[in-house]
Amino acid sequence: MDNGSYQKLLDSLLQCNQHFMDLAQGQGQLASQAVLQQSVQDINQAIEKTSAQPQAMVEQQLQWWQSQLQLFQNTMLRHGGQPVEPLVQPQRGDKRFGDERWSELPWFDYIKQSYLLTAQQMQQSIDAIDDLDEASRQRLQFFTRQAVNAMAPSNFLGSNPELLQLTLESGGDNLRKGMEQLSQDLLKSAGALNVSMTDSDAYQLGRDLAVSPGKVVHQTELYQLLQYSPSTEQVAKRPLLIVPPFVNKYYILDLQQRNSMVKYLVDQGHTVMMISWLNPDERHQALDFDDYVVDGVLSATETIEKLTGETEINAVGYCIGGTALACAMAYASAKRMKQRIKSATFFTTILDFSQPGELGAFINDTVVSALEQQNLEQGIMDGRQLAVAFSLLKENNLYWNYYIDGYLKGKSPVAFDILHWNCDNTNVSGKNHNTMLRRFYLNNELMQADAFTVRGVGIDLSRIKVPTLFVSTVEDHIALWQGTYSGMQQLGGDKTFILGESGHVAGIVNPPGGKYNHYLGAGSNELDAEQWLAQTQQQAGSWWPSWMGWLAERNVLDPVAARTLDDSLDNAPGSYVMKRLASTMDNVA
């Protein structure tokens, strides 16, 4: 590395250090302290339990020590030229040690195996503790895994042979580029480091993504309603309303033409109406879940009737958008309002929050109370903080791999449509965030008839009597499919369940021709989730055509002429979706 490059590297390091100091004084301190406090309580409980079973813990330590001694002996044999079988291998799908030098070079093979044995032993130690309450065990498992994966030798220059070779070959240029990228990312972060996953300038909404032609047919302070242009001469009589999650932007369902659900639905002869939620800022601190139900979902159904003259619609809700949709339907039933929704489809929607998955590590009264206080003080839960939290639920695939590529290898982020959407963050009002944390995740009020209220009206999910279809995915780490199945069982009426392959996003954005299969069967109140799966046959390919068949069976009315749009209206994707946090929120600098 020449003097000029070395000076640039030093300047970048100084810049990054200052940004880190600024972040440390920024947002999230109350929540971080609460997580630490809860972790200390869990560790103290674990220590107390293990002290009552010293023999078992001593045996585990001895086994680990013996395995390390055996590993050292094997390494010496390899140095002497003798072939030796590895004591431990990375788990299937673990890409951290994919470079062949991790296996070919004995010293780095030793580092790798020693780390894997230690990580394995730490997790097994938690599993072996008797009489530890399950919530504490799950939290300890989660945070131990986080710590173990953060300390992986692959994350550090000096212990990663691939990084060492790259640094030597580039004269350290990879580190200079990495520090420049880190400095840029810190400027765009809020309370936690948002690692760049994709080239944020590669796509433009309305040009590359969210390109399905349509118009903004209605606008309120909370949402814009988009209606898409027809591509068939006739359309189903019932319009189809999509309620996306308000913690993400809607265009995950309208990426590029090849994987756009909106385009697929339009080409199947549906009049598609999409809610595009406002991206809230400090002016919208008073927004609560009630507003999304009444002034959002129900308002949109009323607007559709005014625009089309149709009194019946089909509705779709995705993730927390589905939760809002279900509450809107139960609210309308309790109020004896006109029930415009005649069928409802729910994508990865949680109604029973008793199985929060790995989010459960943060769901306890200590952490929730701290977050409530933080949200009251700040008024807004910054979407960039939420994005980091969700990325760390799959830390090796959604965080550390990008950390290594960007900051240690010095690679420029690549262009990828789903990751672009994933990094296009949205805020959540503090009040609404508090409602979801305490009343849904902590208290699970939707599972208790009339315990959760919307503007004073008790929500009873059993009042939903229209046909419903729930779509979940096997690998979803945000909305566990067993939990979404349990939530479905609370509804009345005819129920159908689809279980797709892959995860929360890729399993939903799986158009015909995609690589994932699915299971389809009638939902049952007599069978639990695993029993349902055991008696259900796998269907080949995408679940989208199965969904179309389900809708066709319920769209019994004759089709009507395609609904045209007023050319004078603003074009989709509208203005609300364009608001990006990096340009609208105060940067840390």
Q: Would you give the DSSP letter of residue 435?
A: I
Is the pLDDT confidence value at 25 over 70? no
Mean pLDDT along residues 14-32: 49
Q: Looking at the whole model, is its pTM more than 0.85?
A: yes
Separation CA 366–CA 320 (nearest Å): 24
Helix (H) or strand (E) holding 317: strand 313-318
Given a contact cutoff of 8 angstroms between Cβ atoms, the answer to whether 226 and 254 are in contact is no
Total Cβ atoms within 10 A of residue 589: 10
DSSP three-state, residue 468: strand
Contacts (Cβ under 8 Å, ≥6 apart) of 577: 205, 210, 224, 249, 250, 251, 276, 279
Q: What percent of the chain has pLDDT over 70?
A: 93
Is the pLDDT confidence value at 208 over 60? yes
Catalytic option among 16, 319, 327, 423: 319
Q: Would you give the DSSP letter of residue 459?
A: P
Contacts (Cβ under 8 Å, ≥6 apart) of 351: 323, 326, 446, 447, 461, 484, 487, 488, 490, 491
Q: Does residue 16 have an active-site annotation?
A: no
Confidence of residue 328 (pLDDT cuts 50, 70, 90): very high
Give the range among 228-242, 353-367, 414-428 with minimum mean pLDDT: 353-367
Separation CA 519–CA 499 (nearest Å): 5
pLDDT value at position 54? 77
Given a contact cutoff of 8 angstroms between Cβ atoms, the answer to whether 537 and 187 are in contact is no
Separation CA 410–CA 115 (nearest Å): 25
Is the pLDDT confidence value at 7 over 60? no
Is the pLDDT confidence value at 392 over 90? no
Question: In the numeric block, which tokens belong to residue 315?
Answer: 């509705």
Confidence of residue 32 (pLDDT cuts 50, 70, 90): low
Is the pLDDT confidence value at 28 over 60? no
Give the range among 27-36, 137-146, 207-216 with minimum mean pLDDT: 27-36
Q: Mean pLDDT across the chain, nearest whole number?
A: 90
- Between the alpha carbon of residue 520 and those of residues 344, 437, 536, the distances in Å are 16, 31, 7
pLDDT in tens, 172-202: 999 999 999 999 898 888 777 889 999 888 9
Confidence of residue 582 (pLDDT cuts 50, 70, 90): low
Given a contact cutoff of 8 angstroms between Cβ atoms, the answer to whether 516 and 502 are in contact is yes
Mean pLDDT along residues 261-267: 98
- Between the alpha carbon of residue 339 and those of residues 291, 420, 433, 488, the distances in Å are 18, 37, 28, 19
- Between the alpha carbon of residue 217 and those of residues 171, 231, 276, 388, 563, the distances in Å are 57, 18, 11, 34, 12
Confidence of residue 206 (pLDDT cuts 50, 70, 90): very high
Q: Can you say whether the dihedral through the CA atoms of 493, 315, 356, 502 is positive or negative?
A: positive
Domain ranges of the chain: 35-180, 214-358+457-577
| Backbone torsion region of residue 309, taken as left when φ is above 0, otherwise alpha when ψ lies between -120 and 50, otherwise beta | left
Answer with the residue of higher pLDDT: 581 or 337: 337
Nearest by Cα to 74 from 86, 89, 65: 86
Whose tokens are 């009507």? That residue is 560
What are the residues facing 241 on neighbouring strands? Answer: 273, 315
Question: In the numeric block, which tokens belong to residue 539?
Answer: 């269907």
pLDDT value at position 335? 96
Mean pLDDT along residues 28-39: 66
Given a contact cutoff of 8 angstroms between Cβ atoms, the answer to whether 121 and 60 are in contact is yes
Q: Can you spell out the DSSP letters for 507-568?
A: TTS--TT-S--EEEEE--SSS-HHHHHHT--EE-S-SHHHHHHHHHHH--SPPEEPPP--TT
Contacts (Cβ under 8 Å, ≥6 apart) of 171: 1, 2, 5
Mean pLDDT along residues 83-103: 94
Contacts (Cβ under 8 Å, ≥6 apart) of 468: 343, 344, 345, 346, 488, 491, 493, 494, 495, 496, 523
Domain 214-358+457-577 of CATH type 3.30.565.10: no
Answer with the residue of higher pLDDT: 34 or 228: 228
Helix (H) or strand (E) holding 374: helix 365-378
Is the pLDDT confidence value at 404 over 90? yes
Question: In the numeric block, which tokens belong to residue 245?
Answer: 């999650």
pLDDT value at position 296? 98
| CA distance from start to end of the chain | 29
pLDDT value at position 13? 44
Is the pLDDT confidence value at 327 over 60? yes
Mean pLDDT along residues 437-443: 96
